[in-house]
A and B are shown apart, each in its own frame.
Chain A
Amino acid sequence: MKRKIPLLITFTVGIILIISEFIPHKPFGQLSGELEIWFLIISGFAILLGQLSLFKVNILKIKYKQRDWQFYTITLISFIIMVTLGFLWGTGKSAGMLGQGEVISNILGYKPFDYLFHNIYQHLQATMFSLLAFFIASAAYRAFIGRTVESNLLLVSAVLVMLGNTTLGSLLTGWLPESLNFLHLPKISEFIMTFPTTAGQRAIMIGAGLGIIGSSLRIILGIERSYLGGE
């Protein structure tokens, strides 16, 4: 029964949702949206599990003084501070237990929660995102080292695309006559991005789409049961 009931629910809901894609009439037309709301409600409850997991794992690491345990303390303290401030004075336009906190808001310019969000959290987020620039450089360096025919092709096309997107690229081939305009670097760059790149991406997307159909059918028909934790 532990297996059969979830499989039955999956099969029924899966088939109804497939049918509803082609039937706009009520109640089928609204089913997809309704189930998304159900998912959000269940996710809301599941968030509690996530928070409990976060606490448990971090407290255990602090308790047993694992390596770098101080960092886990910072995580927990930050979590408690943000939750407390949110509860006391709310966030955005919503009030907390102590109201809108006008006095503090006047001093800080924001509510305490929002103040920390805008002045610490967003900067930390931007810092992590900025790392991407350096990682792209290091990854590109490895990718562009010409070792095989494929990597040489990648190197050539990457150089053409990069040059084509800079003013230097326009300058380099700007002297070409009108009849050789197709060799103008920005044109070559545009061609590479519009045709080979898009074609490749679409091929991957078609394959992935078929993969999703196959996986969905396996799950709906009960052939694939790994997500239930069993065979």
Chain B
Amino acid sequence: MRALFSNDHKSVGLRFLWLALFSVVLGMTLSLVMRAQLSEAGGAYANEDRYAAITLLHGSLMVFFVFTAAPQCGFGYFLVPLQIGAREMALPLLSGVSFWMSAASLVAISISILLPPASGSLLWLLGVTCFCGAMILASLNVTVTVIELRTKGMTLPRLPITVWAWFITAILSLLIFSVLVASSVFLLCDRIAGTQFFGVGTPISAAGIWQRWFWFFAQAEIYVAMLPCFGIVTHLLATYSRKPLWSERMAVLALCTVGLVGFCIWGEHMFASGLNPYTPLVFSMLASSLGVPALLLAACWFGTLWNAKTRYSTAMLFALGFVSLFLSGGLSGIFLARREFAGGNTGDAFVTGHFHLVMGVAATFAILAALFFWFPKVFGRRLNETLGKIHFLLTFCGVYVLFMTMHWIGLFERSFPPGTVVRIHGLSGIVGVATIATVSAQLIFFVNFFWSLLRGESTGAKNPWRATTLEWFVSSPPPSENFNGGVPVVFRGAYELGVPLAGEDFVPQHLAPEQVAKLR
């Protein structure tokens, strides 16, 4: 009970992860419901409003509470102070407040679907506004912590790339979410006070409103969600490759560019369209704007993997899966960016397939990679590797079959003139089967998760992955003040891997030059 209301960064981070886990379960169940509706009606749905509302709930749960909150607030809160050598976040009260606001928002958003459209969408909007507020507070906290609480010797170039990613994401979300709050205020005024900021000139179906509102908010989050994933995956690739991160500076620069480009593109869209949430969207922007920095990051990833003696643990497999999904998703993004997809129909299977692959599944893989990597740190026990690998293989194949087929369906649909109803029974069937297979593969994960949590193999060594960063040199789970009342001193960067030292192949960040000399 005490832990539930504590403002300790580890406790808050953990609670964010539990929140995400709950949302994943709910969100996946909803996607099954959607699939069932689609296959039942053979491609058309019985109750369009209901279907749209379920889509909205599925989307908002996944995007807000899983992809935005889990990497940034879950892992971010837990690890930022540990990795920079601080005892606590800069503003612990804000940690707690941001969590409870997120939780309230989750409740509001989940309930909103049960209400009739008018009041339901109002509640949904309030929930989203609350979530935006929570994220502003959280990113304020992370920004100040990284600027101010870095320990002695932890200069900016020595920061692990994960911290860079969380830091840049925090700054980006500080800017983006405040603009989102502004537009929420306008929307709320329109709904409650009868103002007409968004001159609703064109009549639009309730179903359309549900979907477009969601994308109005979610498009900004794509960048916020992807950035920490980039950081996590880059960190893991370097650690498991046992090689220094290839051109670390460039990776950091690429992350900064993602942030900058993300903000500019989104802001431009926001301002140019006069804050109109009803403009057709937007999916193609991901590919076109992320292209250059994504390429730079990919170069860093492959440069790191080149000639590496890689350890293929489950976390590494998921990180590689992220790279694969991100690149192949990016390829289909090129089509989206090139072709004028007039109307931006969100129901289009090609688009759905594309952004699920890039954003949804790739981000999930990054979160899972992080979970397998830091599980020993968080809980002091390890996830089962065999179960983890089976889970990885099934999920990896499952999502490729599922979303590639969805791409094909989208292409087939496009090759017919608009208006004709095309029903591709065979392919829809494959998608249905793949969905069920992929979702059931997650059961393996849940079994693994809870079994390992309760009776998993205990870590034994402090540092099971032979990583260099500070969090691995305190006990697991970390003690309440992280470093026994003081703060550690850092002498080197986070990626001195592949350096032979005392029978090991890495130099921890906190090892002083004299100590290294002695060990040699």
Co-assembled chains A and B: no
Which B residues fall within an 8 A CB radius of A? none
